[in-house]
Chain A
Amino acid sequence: MAEHSSEQIEKVITDSLVSFGANADDINREAELTALDIDSLDLAELSQIIEEQFGVELTSGDVAEIATVGDAIDLVAERTAGA
């Protein structure tokens, strides 16, 4: 599996969050997903997008651990690097 740059991962995640209705100006590594009005359905779809784009399968347990935008980026980066 190819390693993906942090910028690539960040862009996919940011674009996804915006498509779910989050305000682009509010998105940064420290932003909490709940504060961006991202809910469980959005996270389920984000998992699908990550799987399609990066070939990384996230379990519901993985997703439950994601609190901030940075958590999501780091998790995907770690999984793609380790694969």
Chain B
Amino acid sequence: MSDARPPAACALVTGGSRGIGAAIARAMADDGWPVAINYRSDAQQAAALVAAIEADGGRAVALEGDVSDPATPALLLAGAEQAFGSPVLALVNNAGVRADGLALSLSDEDWRIVLDTNLGSTYRLTRGALRAMIRARFGRVISIASVVGPRANAGQANYAASKAAVIAFTKTAAVEVARRGVTINAVAPGLIATDMTEDIPQAFRDRVPAARAGTPEEVAAAVAFLASDRAAYITGSTVYVDGGLSA
């Protein structure tokens, strides 16, 4: 069995137009992956990212779609394959949302949107992508989890449930397909400086042993490594990129 990336392969990054997703798309393109960048609403930012990747000699395409819609994952996988003429053999489940509130006051809609976006899309995209991956005897699925989930964080019961479930899904799906050369891992960021974390209180920031927020590029580096041939024997794992927060 070959553990090397086949020449005909592309990557799909969900929620890829900004923040951690954009850094991941850049890192994957730098590693030679043609990258399909999914975005929900920010077409301008996605187009700018595609242009930047192309200016650096890479290949990229922007694909609009709300991954919380159960119909979207299949459309994204088909769209990426059509754009590059090769199947998605690296899937980065990055799209995620927050709708914070104490568990006793969360609305059903707060629960649904967070679980459908963070967990449902991870499951549906992975299920769809695995079809081509097991046939190719190569595949990389990397899902963005969080330190919140394995650890408590008051006000984020829905988010924590979704991210802990992503890690659990990762482990079981990984063992199911390991012998086909497909690896499935999670990357769990801690406090990363993006517009999604601007409102994080200082008290939480003070708990980070590294005494600073991480950068999207530091998360992207872990994702790119897990997508590489060098990570062929790592599967079912969660890599924490958190400055020691979960240690």
Contacts from A to B (Cβ < 8 Å) = 41, 44-45, 48-49
Contact = CB atoms under 8 A, between A and B. Distances in A.
B235 to A, nearest CB: 14
Nearest to A51: B131
Interface of B: 131, 134-135, 176-177, 179-180
Contacts, number: 13
The secondary-structure label for the interface of chain B is helix
Nearest to A52: B135
B182 to A, nearest CB: 10
B131 A48 contact: yes
A41 B135 contact: no
A48 B135 contact: yes
Contacts of B177: 41
B183 to A, nearest CB: 15
B131 A41 contact: no
Contacts of A41: 134, 176-177, 179-180
Contacts of A49: 135
Contacts of B134: 41, 44-45, 48
A45 B134 CA distance: 7
10 tightest CB-CB pairs across the interface, nearest first?
A45-B134, A48-B131, A41-B176, A48-B135, A41-B177, A45-B135, A41-B180, A41-B134, A44-B134, A41-B179
8 contacts: A41-B176, A41-B177, A41-B180, A44-B134, A45-B135, A45-B180, A48-B134, A48-B135
Contacts of B179: 41
A41 B130 CA distance: 11
Contacts of B180: 41, 45
